[in-house]
């Protein structure tokens, strides 16, 4: 089964095509194409993602990414001569009425290629920025109409949960499982007792952990997105020769001992803000001190994430732990998660997505759609709407 997936929930425009086969308990995935167009340069000036700009950029990026992906997957076949696919352009006009950039590209390119051999079109319906989500959804609708291919709608968070499964060595899932989602918009602990069924057992009460990385980076004068920058700066400590500095940096681990599975990262970010302000007035801020702060902030976040996650593993006696989301790209977090799992007293299968599958991508959306195709879940024939606040069920 070939699945084309479209993901536009935030500031990455992403298209993937996968070949999926096998039973729901033993799936096999082959990534035929994974393309992402990052909008970092555009949003960087504003220190965060601007929804209207994200929408505009998705409109510009989608068709070129689609063509590139079809070519890589060897599914791109131009119509012979000047022939064009016949279709009711009024219908497409209606579907793409709010997608000016996309519509032009769509008419220029798509009707000149043959219908590709694709079984499903998967698209993210939420959560995320609604103007951004709509662009992907409307492209999916237009392609579905033109090519007569059914759409499967996907929850972005379910994508992060199942992203590790896209890697074939990594697809042995047993239930119950605990999933940790750590991204720019979400920090959630999820319990699952069966395929595609979720119960949120804990979540952040304020900022998401990725959001805290982004905000702390800003406080330290680093560009957006902050996650990779913080970890790079923390690494500077390892290489720095300077040892003349005995300044000890200590930050809190919010809610680490609370009797639930919730998180809080806003206080940690504020602690960094006050610390930096104080050190600035004392004239003690330099690159080494900033690196110490970055390192301590990173470790405080890791300590809280790992502590709560393994508390959940222990309470629900799960044999599988899956993690996903942009923050899981953090090498130190990956290392410490693995160490903790290796030393866990019970047998525990930890599934970590490869780095390129941790941050936003469309492969994870295609993978979820494959699972849904077994259950005939979310196969849409009627209206699809962007759902900014969609949660897991």
Site residues for ligand KG4 per CB under 6 A:
10, 183-185, 210-211, 213-214, 225-228, 231, 325-327, 329-330, 359-360
| Residues 171-200 close enough to bind Zn ion by CB under 5 A | 183
3-state secondary structure of 34: strand
Q: With CB cut-offs between 5 and 8 Å by kind, which of Zn ion, ligand KG4, none does residue 213 bind?
A: ligand KG4
Considering the complex, state which of residue 95 and residue 351 has its C-beta at the smaller distance from Zn ion: 351
> What is the rounded distance in angstroms from the CA atom of residue 187 to the CA atom of residue 252?
18
Q: Choose between 295 and 363: whose C-beta lies nearer to Zn ion.
A: 363
Q: Which does 226 bind (CB under 5 to 8 A by kind): Zn ion, ligand KG4, none?
A: ligand KG4
Q: Looking at beta carbons only, is 102 or 181 nearer to ligand KG4?
A: 181
Looking at the Cβ atoms of 9 and 373, the one nearer to ligand KG4 is 9
Nearer CB in complex with ligand KG4: 45/284: 45
Nearer to ligand KG4, 116 or 159 (CB): 159
Kindly indicate which of the ranges 54-62, 258-266, 274-282, 353-361 contains the residues binding Zn ion, using the contact rule CB under 5 A: 353-361
Preceding omega of 8 cis (within 30 degrees of 0): no
Binds Zn ion by CB under 5 A, chosen from 12, 207, 214, 360: 360
CA distance 8 to 14: 6
Nearer to ligand KG4, 105 or 229 (CB): 229
Residue the block writes with tokens 């800003």: 218
Q: Which does 330 bind (CB under 5 to 8 A by kind): Zn ion, ligand KG4, none?
A: ligand KG4
376 to each of 196, 257, 306, 372, 379, how far by Cα in Å? 12, 42, 35, 6, 6
Q: What angle do CA 162, 165, 171 make, to 5 degrees?
A: 130
- If one asks whether residue 358 binds Zn ion (CB under 5 A), the answer comes out as no
210 is in the binding site of which of ligand KG4, Zn ion, none (Cβ under 5 to 8 A by kind)? ligand KG4
Q: What share of the chain is helix, strand, coil (3-state, %, to 5)?
A: 45, 20, 35
Q: 74: phi > 0 → left, psi -120 to 50 → alpha, else beta; which?
A: left
Q: Are 22 and 370 in contact (CB under 8 A)?
A: no
Locate 115 and state its tokens: 């219908």
Contact of residue 294 among Zn ion, ligand KG4, none (CB under 5-8 Å per partner type): none
The separation between the first and the last C-alpha atoms of the chain, rounded to the nearest angstrom, is 26
For residue 54, the minimal CB distance to ligand KG4 (Å) is 12
Measured from the CB of residue 213, what is the shortest distance to ligand KG4 in angstroms?
4
Contact between 353 and 29 (Cβ < 8 Å): no
Residues that bind Zn ion (CB under 5 A): 183, 360
């Amino acid at each position: 089964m070939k699945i084309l997936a479209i993901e536009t929930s935030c500031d990455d425009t992403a298209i993937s095509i996968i070949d999926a086969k096998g039973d729901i308990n033993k799936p096999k995935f082959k990534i035929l194409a994974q393309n992402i167009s990052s909008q970092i340069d555009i949003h960087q000036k504003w220190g965060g993602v601007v929804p209207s700009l994200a929408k505009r950029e998705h409109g510009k990026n989608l068709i070129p990414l689609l063509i590139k992906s079809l070519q890589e997957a060897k599914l791109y076949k131009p119509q012979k001569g000047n022939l064009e696919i016949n279709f009711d352009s009024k219908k497409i006009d209606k579907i793409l009425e709010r997608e000016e950039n996309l519509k032009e590209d769509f008419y220029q390119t798509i009707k000149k290629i043959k219908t590709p051999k694709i079984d499903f079109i998967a698209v993210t319906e939420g959560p995320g920025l609604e103007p951004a989500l709509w662009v992907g959804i409307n492209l999916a609708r237009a392609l579905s109409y033109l090519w007569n291919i059914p759409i499967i709608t996907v929850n972005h968070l379910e994508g992060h949960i199942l992203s590790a499964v896209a890697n074939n060595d990594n697809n042995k899932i047993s239930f119950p499982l605990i999933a940790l989602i750590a991204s720019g918009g979400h920090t959630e602990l999820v319990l699952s007792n069966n395929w595609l069924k979720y119960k949120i057992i804990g979540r952040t009460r304020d900022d998401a952990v990725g959001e805290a990385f982004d905000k702390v980076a800003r406080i330290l004068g680093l560009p957006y997105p902050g996650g990779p920058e913080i970890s790079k700066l923390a690494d500077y400590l390892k290489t720095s020769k300077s040892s003349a500095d005995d300044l000890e940096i200590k930050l809190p681990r919010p809610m680490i001992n609370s009797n639930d599975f919730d998180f809080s990262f806003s206080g940690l970010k504020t602690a960094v803000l006050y610390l930096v302000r104080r050190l600035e007035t004392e004239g003690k801020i330099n690159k080494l001190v900033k690196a110490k702060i970055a390192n301590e902030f990173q470790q405080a976040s890791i300590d809280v994430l790992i502590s709560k996650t393994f508390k959940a593993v222990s309470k629900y006696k799960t044999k599988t732990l899956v993690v996903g989301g942009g923050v899981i790209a953090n090498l130190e977090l990956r290392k410490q998660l693995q160490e903790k799992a290796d030393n866990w007293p019970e047998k525990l299968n930890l599934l970590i997505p490869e780095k390129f599958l941790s941050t936003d991508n469309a492969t994870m959306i295609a993978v979820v759609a494959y699972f849904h195709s077994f259950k005939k879940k979310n196969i849409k024939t009627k209206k699809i709407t962007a759902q900014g606040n969609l949660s897991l069920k």
